[in-house]
Chain A
Amino acid sequence: MNENHEWNPGGTQQDTLHASAIEVRTLGVAFGGLRALTDVSASVNADHIVAIIGPNGAGKTTLLNAICGLVPKAGGEVRHYGKDVTNAHPTKIAQCGVGRSFQDPRLIDSLSVLENVLCGAHATIGYSLADQVIHRLKVGKAERKARANAKELLDLFSLADLADVAAGRLAYGPRKMVDIARATISRPSVLLLDEPSSGLGRAERARIENMLLMINKEFQIPMMIVEHHMDLVRAVAHRVLGLASGSVALDGPTSEVLASEQFRATMTGEVSVREQKVATTDV
């Protein structure tokens, strides 16, 4: 994202026009001797939401980590609007406009919710370290603008009255919502969400659902969402990608996939601890 809040995908004009927000081709990821992902191909087109489902240890989080550049690849490629980001540094990938939330919302407990959301806007706030000492006026102006922007976003998500609350005092549900807001504030060109509704009750899941739909429709941000709750998947996803033991088991429009026999068979398997070891990673 450059300073005018536009994403700048790079790649040729031709690539850009027809390219998917994220395209993964025959991706492989291995940890030590164990393969976490084998020959995974997936894509998210502009404005769509793709849900990634599968049993524990199937490699869903690993797939997100791979797209973000956090794990080394053993074959295959990842493209962001046509641009090859397979071996790019995670910071560069983020600066190209790939946003991410985590299963465990990683907030700064001692800062307020507003400040936490502003962390996500880092790349879009236009002043440097030197400016903070020399050009105080410029800094003040940029900060005010960024704060107003963040407040507006919190308002949209009905989180406005938590703005000045210390993040450490929030319950799990609001924490997850703040994490999503933080990932959204820079208007990324694609959003990767890892289990946004895990550990939440029905009422809060409904709020998350609303947030996701708003982000997709109003901000037109395509998303890849790792999810376990099928009601959420049904409500928001256009397509579903099912992973099992590191490979793609299902891929298609939501209604089709969720009705298929394969879905019932693949998705209800219990995975042993050893297989879990394959795909979980402390990221």
Chain B
Amino acid sequence: MSELTAAIIGGLSLGAVYSLVTLGIVIIFRATETFNFAHGSFMLLAALILGRLQSHSGLPFEVLALISLAIVGALGAMLFRFVLRSTIGRPHFVAVIATLGFAAVADGVIGIVFPETQYTITIPGLSNGSTRIFGATFSVASLEISAFAVILTVALVLVFRFTSLGVRMRAAGQNSLLASQGGINVHRVYIGSWALACVLAGVAGIAYGSVNSVNQGIESLALLAFPAALLGGLDSIPGSLIGGFGIGLIGGFVAAYIGGEYVTVVTYLVLLVVMLFLPHGIAGTRSVRRV
């Protein structure tokens, strides 16, 4: 019984964080049709910056969080403006490789600038201690973080669906020529999407890092978010919730019943299976063309 609980609640709890990360990946894919392989770096960077700021300065958490997120968001905007903008119009793989290159640079810089791996992030207001649910133990803080992640993700999904901002982003993503003819500043939408997605990555990184350790593990979250994005539908914003929780649950069950070291492999096998049978994911547009 406790395994089942651990599987479900643990899975859902992690799934909430995945959803947030996946949302960022989907935003970027919709806007610029690229996979952002640097997503994990942004997550880790925000957490590291916050961690170092917290240990060196007495400023309140909110201020430090804003600073870290602003830095990460600005980096994302700069990445688009100075690197990716020149890849528009060229074959898609150009942009993907550029993000790969950026990820390598980011990882290297992170390794050099933040050699210590012992940062902790404290979020004031997070509860301590743990609780038992149906025989399995969970830290209250991680449950609270997950709740926060879900609320944030759902809020953003609603914003996208129902506000003019969301409509504009959808239009820009679907057909940039028509969108600009319709008066939408497409480039601002692109930069905004990248900045927003990177800020979300930062939020996820900080959130995750506050209840787990701030290290490379955060980056592997992003790597698991790609199968989640595919599962939910690469261009579906609500799909990021489906995919995130789906992958979280699968991981939860695998970890509880088979073993934690199997989680990554199984998740990626799921990716292959999804590609084989449901390439547009659960909620993505069905126009994926077979060649």
Chain A residues close to B by CB (< 8 Å): 89, 91, 273, 276-277, 280, 282
Tell me, in angstroms, the Cα distance from A66 to B37 when the chains sit together.
36
Sample (11) of A-B pairs whose CB atoms are under 8 Å apart: A89-B290, A91-B291, A273-B178, A273-B181, A273-B182, A276-B178, A277-B175, A277-B178, A280-B175, A280-B178, A282-B175
Chain B residues close to A by CB (< 8 Å): 175, 178, 181-182, 290-291
CB distance from B133 to the nearest CB of A (A): 44
CB distance from B181 to the nearest CB of A (A): 5
For residue A91, which residues in chain B have a CB less than 8 angstroms away from its CB?
291
CB distance from B66 to the nearest CB of A (A): 39
Task: Give B178's nearest chain A residue, CB to CB.
Answer: A277
Main secondary structure of the interface of A (DSSP, over half): helix
Tell me, in angstroms, the Cα distance from A282 to B176 when the chains sit together.
11
CB distance from B219 to the nearest CB of A (A): 33
For residue A282, which residues in chain B have a CB less than 8 angstroms away from its CB?
175
For residue A277, which residues in chain B have a CB less than 8 angstroms away from its CB?
175, 178
CB distance from B201 to the nearest CB of A (A): 28
For residue A89, which residues in chain B have a CB less than 8 angstroms away from its CB?
290
Task: Give A89's nearest chain B residue, CB to CB.
Answer: B290
Q: Which of A91, A277, A282 has the most CB of B within 10 A?
A: A277
CB distance from B260 to the nearest CB of A (A): 43
CB distance from A282 to the nearest CB of B (A): 7
Tell me, in angstroms, the Cα distance from A122 to B159 when the chains sit together.
49
CB distance from B203 to the nearest CB of A (A): 32
CB distance from A166 to the nearest CB of B (A): 17
Tell me, in angstroms, the Cα distance from A267 to B188 when the chains sit together.
36
Task: Knowing that A91-B291, A273-B178, A282-B175 touch, tell me 8 more A-B residue pairs with CB under 8 angstroms.
Answer: A89-B290, A273-B181, A273-B182, A276-B178, A277-B175, A277-B178, A280-B175, A280-B178
CB distance from B278 to the nearest CB of A (A): 17
For residue B175, which residues in chain A have a CB less than 8 angstroms away from its CB?
277, 280, 282
Tell me, in angstroms, the Cα distance from A218 to B175 when the chains sit together.
41
Tell me, in angstroms, the Cα distance from A277 to B176 when the chains sit together.
11
CB distance from A212 to the nearest CB of B (A): 28
Tell me, in angstroms, the Cα distance from A223 to B178 when the chains sit together.
30
Q: Which 8 A-B pairs have the closest CB atoms?
A: A273-B181, A277-B178, A273-B182, A273-B178, A276-B178, A277-B175, A282-B175, A280-B178
Tell me, in angstroms, the Cα distance from A273 to B182 when the chains sit together.
7
CB distance from B283 to the nearest CB of A (A): 15
For residue B178, which residues in chain A have a CB less than 8 angstroms away from its CB?
273, 276-277, 280
CB distance from A276 to the nearest CB of B (A): 7
Task: Give A281's nearest chain B residue, CB to CB.
Answer: B175
CB distance from B189 to the nearest CB of A (A): 17
Task: Give B171's nearest chain A residue, CB to CB.
Answer: A277
Task: Give A90's nearest chain B residue, CB to CB.
Answer: B291
Tell me, in angstroms, the Cα distance from A167 to B287 when the chains sit together.
32
CB distance from B100 to the nearest CB of A (A): 23
For residue A276, which residues in chain B have a CB less than 8 angstroms away from its CB?
178
For residue B291, which residues in chain A have a CB less than 8 angstroms away from its CB?
91
Tell me, in angstroms, the Cα distance from A149 to B201 when the chains sit together.
57
Task: Give B183's nearest chain A residue, CB to CB.
Answer: A273
Tell me, in angstroms, the Cα distance from A273 to B184 when the chains sit together.
13
CB distance from A65 to the nearest CB of B (A): 12
Tell me, in angstroms, the Cα distance from A55 to B178 when the chains sit together.
17
For residue B181, which residues in chain A have a CB less than 8 angstroms away from its CB?
273
CB distance from B184 to the nearest CB of A (A): 11
Task: Give A282's nearest chain B residue, CB to CB.
Answer: B175
For residue A273, which residues in chain B have a CB less than 8 angstroms away from its CB?
178, 181-182
CB distance from B167 to the nearest CB of A (A): 13
Tell me, in angstroms, the Cα distance from A280 to B181 when the chains sit together.
13
CB distance from A89 to the nearest CB of B (A): 8
CB distance from A122 to the nearest CB of B (A): 15
Tell me, in angstroms, the Cα distance from A277 to B182 when the chains sit together.
11
Tell me, in angstroms, the Cα distance from A13 to B264 when the chains sit together.
58
Tell me, in angstroms, the Cα distance from A277 to B170 when the chains sit together.
14
Tell me, in angstroms, the Cα distance from A276 to B179 when the chains sit together.
11
Tell me, in angstroms, the Cα distance from A280 to B174 when the chains sit together.
12
Tell me, in angstroms, the Cα distance from A61 to B290 when the chains sit together.
20
Tell me, in angstroms, the Cα distance from A276 to B182 when the chains sit together.
11
Tell me, in angstroms, the Cα distance from A273 to B171 when the chains sit together.
13
Tell me, in angstroms, the Cα distance from A273 to B179 when the chains sit together.
9
CB distance from A272 to the nearest CB of B (A): 10
Tell me, in angstroms, the Cα distance from A89 to B181 when the chains sit together.
33
For residue B182, which residues in chain A have a CB less than 8 angstroms away from its CB?
273
For residue B290, which residues in chain A have a CB less than 8 angstroms away from its CB?
89
CB distance from B144 to the nearest CB of A (A): 40
Tell me, in angstroms, the Cα distance from A183 to B192 when the chains sit together.
42
Tell me, in angstroms, the Cα distance from A273 to B181 when the chains sit together.
8
